[in-house]
Amino acid sequence: MKCTLCKRKIEISFLNKIKGTYVKVKGKLVPVCSDCQKRYGDELKNVLKV
Ligand SMILES: [Zn+2]
């Protein structure tokens, strides 16, 4: 699985949890890594809509 923003690989921990988050964009869940999550914070949804 790759981060939608930086295209780096997102690690998956036990129980299939990703090191990051999923953001809903236009009804679709897209994966974002924890670095981008930290970097963009509340702006995440705005950045992904581009
Ligand atoms: Zn990322």
Which residue positions in the chain have pLDDT lower than 50?
none
Q: Which helix (H) or strand (E) holds 24?
A: strand 20-25
Two tokens at 44? 């995440």
Q: How far is the CA of 4 from the centre of ligand 1 (A)?
A: 7
Find out whether 36 and 5 touch, Cβ atoms under 8 Å: yes
Check residue 16 and give its pLDDT: 86
Contact, 21 vs 32, CB < 8 A? Answer: yes
Of the chain, the percentage scoring pLDDT greater than 90 comes to 72
CA of 48 to the centre of ligand 1 (A): 11
Give the distance (Å) from ligand 1 centre to CA of residue 24: 15
pLDDT at res. 50: 60
Q: List strand residue ranges (DSSP E) for 2-48, in order.
A: 20-25, 28-33
